[in-house]
Homo-oligomer: A and B are copies of this chain.
């Protein structure tokens, strides 16, 4: 896929004229990064806009003891770090590729020129920021109120809804993440994820199929477990 094709397919740039698109394409760069590449870290000055073509990027904060809390992960078609582009501040978090990823990079100066000429982008950006804000509110509530098992249930239910394949026994998902990556996602430790998985499977809401596959007989029930009010209370 060329820069132009990619840019044309992005919602962020929808409604742009053909000339604006080609100009954008000529100023941006596509690079393939292996898994584990750190794109930027907390506090660094913002160099430009990333857009995911393929792969997956995790945005996170780290604690001094090595634990991580992911704020969100972005997949194909999604922009990364629009925020510091606008308020001129530093990156509020770090970013790393979870798997090999092709990313488009648009230097900051270029983006600013684009933004001046096309005020319509503003609406798109606001929508994007809003979505992220809502997501962060959810993360915050989750951390403040729910135990690890509930957070995991909620996460798995969401994952199943997005990436699951329906079978007649229920929804099947392929968790292409390590337990450690899951623990980052939930803001907890690797071991706690193992234990929470066991609890959920003892409850019968999930059923392990091989190493990374899971069967979820009833996604709605799983989601219920993740909601506040129904603590798992470990009986």
CB pair A126 B122 closer than 8 Å: yes
Please encode chain A, from 217 to 230, with 1 for each CB lying within 8 Å of some chain B CB and 0 for all others. Answer: 00000000000110
Please encode chain A, from 104 to 120, with 1 for each CB lying within 8 Å of some chain B CB and 0 for all others. Answer: 00000000000000010
Find the B residue at minimum CB distance from A139. Answer: B140
Q: Is residue A170 contacting chain B, with contact meaning CB distance below 8 A?
A: no
Q: Is residue A64 contacting chain B, with contact meaning CB distance below 8 A?
A: yes
Find the B residue at minimum CB distance from A61. Answer: B141
Q: Is residue A16 contacting chain B, with contact meaning CB distance below 8 A?
A: no
Chain B residues, Cβ within 8 Å of A205? none
Please encode chain A, from 87 to 104, with 1 for each CB lying within 8 Å of some chain B CB and 0 for all others. Answer: 101001100000000000
Assembly stoichiometry (copies): 2
Partner among B67, B131, B228 whose Cβ is within 8 Å of the Cβ of A145: B67
Chain B residues, Cβ within 8 Å of A63? 141, 144-145, 228
CB pair A123 B122 closer than 8 Å: yes
- Bound-state CA distance A123–B112 (Å) is 13
- Bound-state CA distance A100–B187 (Å) is 37
How many residues on A have C-beta within 8 angstroms of the other chain's C-beta atoms?
Answer: 36
CB pair B137 A92 closer than 8 Å: yes
CB pair A61 B123 closer than 8 Å: no
Nearest CB in chain B: distance from A28 CB, A: 22
Nearest CB in chain B: distance from A190 CB, A: 15
Residues of chain A in range 183-209 having any CB-CB distance to chain B below 8 Å: 187
Partner among B87, B130, B143 whose Cβ is within 8 Å of the Cβ of A143: B143
Find the B residue at minimum CB distance from A134. Answer: B92
Nearest CB in chain B: distance from A126 CB, A: 5
Nearest CB in chain B: distance from A41 CB, A: 14
Q: Is residue A73 contacting chain B, with contact meaning CB distance below 8 A?
A: no
Residues of chain A in range 73-94 having any CB-CB distance to chain B below 8 Å: 83, 86-87, 89, 92-93
Nearest CB in chain B: distance from A135 CB, A: 10
Q: What residues make up the interface of A, taking CB atoms closer than 8 Å to B? A: 61, 63-65, 67, 69, 71, 83, 86-87, 89, 92-93, 119, 122-123, 125-127, 129-134, 136-137, 139-141, 143-145, 187, 228-229
